[in-house]
Amino acid sequence: MRPAWFTGIDEVDYEITCKGEPEKGSVISQKSLASLITEIIESPEKYIRENLGVNKPNT
């Protein structure tokens, strides 16, 4: 997982990019990152062996 710069903003708003795709933002809230991690824990088969970038859209 390659998260962007962390913020403490109380929001869940993120997008995922895969390896080789350009990242579209430069920040991510800690709450958004926690939401994605929870999603991965609950459905581990969804992102098997993926290299994920995660950021807030259009930042």
The tens-digit pLDDT sequence of the chain (59 residues) is 888 899 999 999 999 999 999 888 899 999 999 999 999 999 999 999 999 999 999 88
When divided into structural domains, the chain yields a total of 1
Q: The whole model's pTM is what?
A: 0.87
Kindly list the distances between the CA atom of residue 58 and the CA atoms of 27, 39, 49, in Å, as whole numbers in the listed order.
Answer: 9, 22, 26
According to DSSP, the β-strands at 15-18 and 52-55 are: antiparallel
The upper half-sphere exposure of residue 1, i.e. CA atoms within 13 Å in the direction of its Cβ, equals 15
Range of the domain at 23: 2-55
- Residue 4's pLDDT is 85
- Residue 6's pLDDT is 93
Cβ atoms of 42 and 36 closer than 8 Å:
no
- Residue 23's pLDDT is 85
| Distant-in-sequence contacts of 6-9, Cβ < 8 A, 24+ apart | 6/30, 6/33
- Residue 51's pLDDT is 93
